[in-house]
Structure 1
Amino acid sequence: MRIPLQLFTSSGDQIGRSARAHVTCRYKCGEACWHEPGNSSDNPYFRDVLRASASRRAVLRSSAGAAVALGATSLLAACGSDSGSSTASSTTTSSGDSALPGMNFAAVAPNTEDALIIPQGYRQDVVIRWGDPVLPGAPEFDFANQTPEAQAMQFGFNNDFAGLIAVDGVSGHHYLVCNQEYTTEEFMFPGYTPKEPSEQQARISMAAHGITVLEVAATPGSGSLTPVVGQRNRRITASTPIRLTGPAAGSAFVTTSADPAGTTVLGTIANCSGGLTPWGTMLSGEENFNNYFSNASTVTDPATKENLERYSFEDDGDYHQWGRFDKRFDLAQEPNEANRFGYVVEVDPHDPASTPIKHSALGRLKHESATIHVVQSGSDAGTVVAYSGDDERFEYIYKFVSTRKMKTGLSATARAHNTGILDEGTLYVASFTGNEPQAIDGSGTLPPSGSFAGTGTWHPLLTVNPGGSARSHVDGMDPAQVAVFTRVAADKAGATKMDRPEDIEPHPRTGKVYCALTNNSKRGTEGEAAADSANPRNENKNGQIIEITDNHTGTDFTWDLLLVCGDPAEADTYFGGFDKTAVSPISCPDNVAFDPHGNLWISTDGNALDSNDGLFAVALDGDRRGETKQFLTVPVGAETCGPIIDRDRVIVCVQHPGELDDHSADNPASHWPDGGTSQPRPAVVAVWRDGGSPIGV
């Protein structure tokens, strides 16, 4: 078992970590930040750990005074009013006629209000919240009288990714595709005892996981969206049959007593971010699946035990305790069940009777997302490239390059062809080299050139041929092993250990790829990888954004850091070279998206700067590159997820509102979104401009 870490000083101040509540860590990731990282490999890029560790900077000083320091710049005004107004007071210093298109709004100030705070001149409305009806016949939500049957027909808990896909032939209607990442049972059930659910509670939690497909109708003249409860809608839960494809399917690693063929998995869990495909489907990444399984310590087979440890399985991380009531989640009874999760799931919202797919050709890891770039010209035109990050400390960045070319159009024939694209091609993992590695000492100080930049290589792991035959590129591992134990294959390939690679998305115009590296409290500590050019700070609590200029179908790329996040008043932050006295502070980047004008938008998770998490717009080009403005903040205890930024609206998923330590359903810290004495409920929110004018112009 890995050794628990001491996270706090005696005064309660965090040491090099985000402000995410401990209770969130328990249920979301099995206390990953409270244990040693699962990656114990010694990849060749980080052998000189002791030298760099000896010179590392002391713990980043407390940012409790960040708001005061920023106040001196006159950029941001005070937080919103004591009345809990949904619009914060904020200056217009960096808005007005000189603002970039898409970023012409008054920056929202850091705050800790129990409200979703938006710029002046904007409106908001909840689209759907936990427990609201999705399927015909679903009852209205009743917090005190929940059932598994009702929850399976209602919107699930802790929504993360969101996407809008047009409904064929119905103007103004879209499928809102949204996944439900995890459940926090202490906030779902009054009187709940941690790690001691009743069977009813456990099965409600299973039904609250998965994916929702919800038809929504746009309201003319505003950005609001109205749910349409009808036959187009769908709930996919922890019990829905899903087809497993690729080299893992049918292998000895995924067969179970209930599925001796190893081709049909029941359910999808721990779905974090995702992506939309040009052929009209949703991709959803299974992330922290390890903390749903009990009795890891009972596994005695050395190879199985080693693989479980590489994926951070351990007994004390299972706060859901489903294994008490379903042997699938008890590793003592079904050790292979763990190998059936950790994939990218594809869902066709246009056909509610279709069977979702888990694509093992994209590898098994803690997929934060999978997002698509399609090559537009040359002999490779139509080639699909899928990018994914593995969200744990010291894990890796991956891409998959298809062999099959995409067919245009949304016909049934084109969709059938395109759905198989992610089953044929080559899976790669990335290594990063800095241009000035000798200048990196862990302090975050810029190299002499004035930027963190370098080159990189994609190392092939696995190729799947048309027809399903496959070839491993990793010595000592066959194709099924690479597909199921992808982290081990990436270790062998010499991939670069990164600071929690989360959402990664290609720019729709330039093709450049942006990845959120959220944080890494263990960077540069004893026995762990030292700071490097792509991860330049030891004990990194604020994270960074890396920009990759990729040869999409090739094996080479260049990169630089767009942002090194944190308090702009601190010397170890960097905003693309932009004036740091004229930016919003940003910490712990999580999801990325783009607006119609080409700006990057970033949502955060675990803000370490004494403010609620938020959503930020960032300029990417010209002399404004790195300009960062906060568009909204989410309620107390919440995380900002799944942003969609289009012409008429901004959509965010507000995950785990009120999820603070020493609070629960019996002692709620938040009453968002319904107010009064109501229980907090995760929800999807739409924000739009007064009068329906375009966002940020």
Structure 2
Amino acid sequence: MPEPAPRRRPLPLLGQVGGGRSRRTCELRCGDACFHPAPNTSDNPYFGDVLSRSLSRRSALLAGAVGAGILGLAAPAAAGRADRGPGRPKPSPRPTFRSVLPNSDDRVTVPENYEQHVIVRWGDPVLPDAPEFDVHHQTAWAQSRQFGYNCDYVGLYQLDDNRGLLWVNHEYTNENLMFAGYGGGAAATEEQIRIAMAAHGGSLVEIERVGRSGRWRLVTEGPRSHNRRITTDTRMRLTGPAAGDALLRTAEDPAGTEVRGMLNNCSGGTTPWGTFLTGEENFNQYFGHAPGTAENARYGLAGGASGRQWERVDERFDLSKHPNEAHRFGYIVEIDPLDPGSVPAKRTMLGRFKHEGANVRLAEDGRVVAYMGDDERFDYLYKFVSRDRYREGSRRHNLTLLDTGTLYVARLIGNSPAGEIDGGGALPADGEFDGTGEWIPLTSDTESFVEGFGVAEVLVHTRLAADRAGATKMDRPEDVEPSPVTGKVYVALTNNSAREPGQADEPNPRGPNKYGHVLEISENGGDAAATAFTWSVPLVCGDPEDDSTYYAGFDKSKVMPISSPDNLTFDRDGNLWISTDGQPGTLGSNDGLHVMPVEGRFRGELRTFATVPVEAEACGPLISQDNKTVFLAPQHPGEDGTFESPTSRWPDGDLPRPSVVCIWHKGGADIGR
């Protein structure tokens, strides 16, 4: 059994916001979003309001769900041809490793019998002509060829059993750690700004397995023909129904079909045809002097100079001169790792908002379904269903699938009386937070379903269209991952310190919610293309000694603490892995990577697999196809320090450098054993 959680009461917020993030993180990652009113000012009702006005409608929905057989556990989803056949994995016994205990150590801590290795770090050469990293003599040219800064999503395309292409998002930069004597704002030099711009985007690097172990290393010799750096200046295509619309046209791109770069890429996913999907998240903070429109306010675009002041060196970031430029960011970007000369595509059909990422599953009939979260307090959960079907082996056809189909937003309704949801986290009388839901269509590629919005308007001003459609306000929906074993969909709801007790509803049962929770969705009939679903909350995070926490009914004396779930993944056996962002400010210990069975009698038995260095966030994570390796990306280690006075010296004992590590069992066992 895992070590019991230390006996301590939950810590107060201590000036932290957003569920425990450092103020530095809030400033640099999302432009202090949590220090401003939530941009969703719509009057979409909370569940309690819905119930008081419309008990009959809820009863009808529940009755319909019972009749359709969707209130119980969904049958394993037929997730598409790629998942069918006798080789389909089955759930296995829960993980058995001994949990890592909460700590504040400046290292990556792994369980007994495991080892870890840094594969690649900020500044390592990516392109063959890249110079070796010299922190005291950085240039924008060098950085555009070296591994970028904060590393979030990690994806792996395996070329064979021993070689692969590792994709890593570079979400944002901590200039206070990058540059000696950094003054910030107007004091930043033009070259420092350009270096930071080049450190955004993503890196694709070739890696190789070491022997027969679960250890991987960076390939540093040979042509490395697949290696690639994508930055804020990389040419990209705008595709889908909004491409070419007047909302996307600028002086630099009068056709509205091309854009330079991607911004604040957070999480992502892979497609069955072998491409990476990367999500632009807090893009608003890079633009200055935004006109005071309702559309800009809804996306957090403000007047005045931006904090990073990129508009000083690139005029397109000045919205007083180029008001449409911001409309060209906030999308899912598709990147083909097998063609280093390919132009990345911003898929407008998947909507424009603060994308955490996109994860794909195939519907029963072979259509592609992408699940997405909008990472903002009181924002929404989305999915896209393609018009056309996936064709195995037809790469050219499959690369068009994300441009036509239907975009949906979620509405969730609980099945307990409103009076039983008090905002304190107490379970309702039926012993579970659960209910039904529907996917509300916003637009297809040819027809808008939102009154007053055209197709392109829905796709560019997606948040406003979802407001009008009556979507359910959620507690920062971040990663959304379908299980490869059951087809159920899991949503990381990181936290929402702005939710008041009276605003709690059954899908968001605590107010304020500083620790976060995880939502589980079972699509009607197990089909990803369904427009109705049931849902439950298997994990309400925090200290197990806190009465407001819930671990799917498992004995809380045998689980570990967890706060601010951020990124999710699954191992081959269907266990849910959860990385966190915010534990130092809420639980007083480093962020980490946890694993929890979601099926069987050990459902809810959460263990801690790894913790990350001081002030770092646990990103990635990714489990290799053979279940032998965990890839983890600690970003912004020592974020509250400075170049001259670092608070972390990970990974090499000198300056903090965001990096990607691999973790494996010394004896060659599967991860989790």
TM-score (norm 1): 0.86
Counterpart of 1:314 in structure 2 is 302
Equivalent residue of 1:44, what SS?
A: coil
Paired residue for 2:642? Answer: 664
Query: Displacement of 1:100 after TM fit?
Result: 6.6
**1:317: how far off?**
8.4
- 1:113 counterpart letter in structure 2: D
- Structure 1 distance, partners of 2:435, 2:325, is 40
Does structure 1 retain, via aligned residues, the 8 Å contact 2:48–2:505?
A: no
Give the number of equivalent residue pairs: 611
Q: 1:453-602 maps to which residues of 2 (within 5 A)?
A: 453-464=434-445, 470-524=446-500, 530-551=503-524, 552-602=528-578
Note the 1:306-385 alignment, pairs <5 A. 306-315=294-303, 318-375=306-363, 377=364, 380=365, 382-385=366-369
Q: Hey, what's the Cα distance between the residues in 2 that align with 1:343 and 1:115?
A: 34
Partner of 2:506: helix, strand, or coil?
Answer: coil
1:650 aligned partner = 630
CA contact (8 A) 1:389 1:504 kept: yes
Asked whether the 8 Å contact 1:437–1:533 carries over to 2, the reply is no
Task: Tell me the CA shift for residue 355 of structure 1.
Answer: 0.6
8 A Cα contact 1:291 1:317, kept in partner:
no
Shift of the 383–173 alpha-carbon distance from structure 1 to 2, 3 Å rule, reads same
2:474/2:493 contact within 8 Å kept: yes
The CA deviation at 1:166 is 1.6
Q: Does 1:295 align with 2:289?
A: yes
Cα displacement (A) at 1:101 = 4.0
- Structure-to-structure mapping, 1:127-206, within 5 angstroms: 127-167=119-159, 170-196=160-186, 197-206=188-197
Name which of 113, 120, 123 aligns with 2:112: 120
Cα distance in 2 between the residues matched to 1:194 and 1:148: 17
Partner residue, 2:219: 228
Whole-angstrom distance in 2 between the partners of 1:444 and 1:100: 31
Which digits, 9 at most, give the CA deviation of each residue in 1:471-503, with x for residues without a partner? 100000001100100000000000000000000
The whole-number CA distance in structure 1 between the counterparts of 2:144 and 2:226 is: 15
Q: Secondary structure in 2 aligned to 1:43?
A: coil
Query: Contact 1:127–1:224 (CA<8 Å) still a contact in 2?
Result: no
Partners of 1:16 and 1:540 within 8 A in 2: no
In structure 1, how many angstroms separate the alpha carbons of the residues matched to 2:488 and 2:602?
18
Structure 1 residue 223: Cα displacement: 1.8
Give 1:540's aligned amino acid. Answer: N
Q: Which residue number corresponds to residue 55 of structure 1?
A: none
Q: 2 CA distance for matches of 1:245 and 1:203?
A: 28
Partners of 1:588 and 1:289 in 2: how far apart?
Answer: 22
**1:353 partner letter:** G
Once residues 233 and 684 of structure 1 are traced to their aligned partners in structure 2, the CA distance between those partners, rounded to angstroms, is 16
CA 1:548–1:243 in structure 2 vs 1: closer, same or farther (change >3 Å)? same
Cα drift, residue 316 of structure 1: 6.7
Question: Judging changes above 3 Å, is the alpha-carbon distance between structure 1 residues 102 and 189 closer, same or farther for their aligned structure 2 residues?
Answer: farther
Which one-letter code corresponds to 2:147 in the other structure?
Answer: F
**Counterpart residue number, 2:42:** 41
Show structure 2 runs of 5+ residues with no match.
1-11, 53-90
Matched residue, 2:63: none
Which residue is equivalent to 2:370?
386
Which residue pairs with 1:253 in the alignment? 247
TM-score (norm 2): 0.89
Q: Deviations over 1:505-547 (max 9, x none)?
A: 111121100000000001116xxx7000000000110000000
Structure 2 contact 46–504 (Cα < 8 Å) conserved: no
1:24 Cα shift? 1.0
The unaligned stretches of length 5 or more in structure 1 are 1-10, 52-98, 465-469
State the alpha-carbon separation in 2 of the partners of residues 563 and 317 from structure 1.
Answer: 41
What residue in structure 2 maps to residue 86 of structure 1? Answer: none
Residue 46 of structure 1 and its aligned partner are, at CA, apart by: 5.5
Letter in 2 for 1:596: R
1:13 maps to amino acid: L
The match for 2:100 is 108
**Equivalent AA in structure 2 for residue 408 of structure 1:** E
CA distance in 2, matches of 1:110, 1:12: 18
Give 1:12 shift: 8.1
1:630-649 equivalence runs, <5 A: 630-646=608-624, 647-649=627-629
Partner Cα separation in structure 2 for residue 523 and residue 317 of structure 1: 30
CA distance in 2 between partners of 1:520 and 1:316 (Å): 27
- Measured in 1, the distance between the counterparts of 2:672 and 2:660 equals 20
Question: Structure 2: how far apart are the matches of 1:524 and 1:491?
Answer: 20
Match of 1:623, SS state, is: coil
Secondary structure of the corresponding residue to residue 456 of structure 2: helix
3-state secondary structure, aligned to 2:123: coil
Inter-partner Cα distance in structure 1 for 2:515 and 2:13 = 19
Match of 2:601 in 1: 623
Per mean C-alpha deviation after superposition, the further-off stretch among 563-572 and 212-221 is 212-221
User: CA offsets, 1:281-334, max 9 Å, x none?
Assistant: 0000000000000112xx25xxxx111100011247832211011011111111
Tell me the distance in 2 between the aligned counterparts of 1:655 and 1:17.
18
- What is the CA deviation profile of residues 375-404 of structure 1, one whole-angstrom value per residue up to 9, with x for unaligned ones? 2x4xx2x11100000000000000000111
* SS of equivalent to 1:472: coil
Q: In structure 1, the residue corresponding to 2:195 is in which secondary structure? A: helix
Q: Does 1:689 align with 2:665?
A: yes
Contact 1:102 1:695 in 2 (8 A): no
Q: Which one of 397, 404, 419 corresponds to residue 424 of structure 1?
A: 404
What does residue 57 of structure 1 align with? Answer: none
- Of all paired residues, the percent bearing the same amino acid is 53
Partner AA of 2:183 in structure 1: T
- The residue that corresponds to 1:30 in the other structure is 31
Q: CA, structure 1 residues 16+352, in 2 after alignment: closer, same or farther (shift >3 Å)?
A: closer
For residues 118-161 of structure 1, the C-alpha deviation after alignment (integer angstroms, 9 at most, x for no partner) is: 10111110000000011001111111110011001010000100
Pairing partner for 1:443 from 411, 424, 431: 424
Cα pair 1:111 1:612 within 8 Å, conserved: yes
Structure 1 residue 221: deviation in Å? 2.8
The alpha-carbon distance between structure 1 residues 12 and 211, as it changes in their structure 2 partners (threshold 3 A), is closer
Over aligned residue pairs, what C-alpha RMSD do you find? 1.7
Superposition deviation, residue 568 in structure 1 = 0.4
Q: Deviations along 1:73-102, whole A, 9 cap, x unmatched?
A: xxxxxxxxxxxxxxxxxxxxxxxxxx9746
Paired with 2:138 and 2:13, the residues of 1 have a C-alpha distance of 36
Aligned-residue offset at 1:369: 0.7
**1:595–1:601 contact (8 Å) kept in structure 2:** yes
Counterpart of 2:276 in structure 1 is 282
Question: Aligned match of 1:219 in 199, 210, 215?
Answer: 210
Tell me: CA distance 1:437–1:341, structure 2 relative to 1, closer, same or farther (3 Å): farther
Cα offset, 1:554, TM superposition: 2.1
Q: Which amino acid aligns with 1:449?
A: D
CA contact (8 A) 2:110 2:611 kept: yes
CA-CA distance at 1:648 after TM superposition: 1.1
Distance 2:550 2:344 in 1: 42
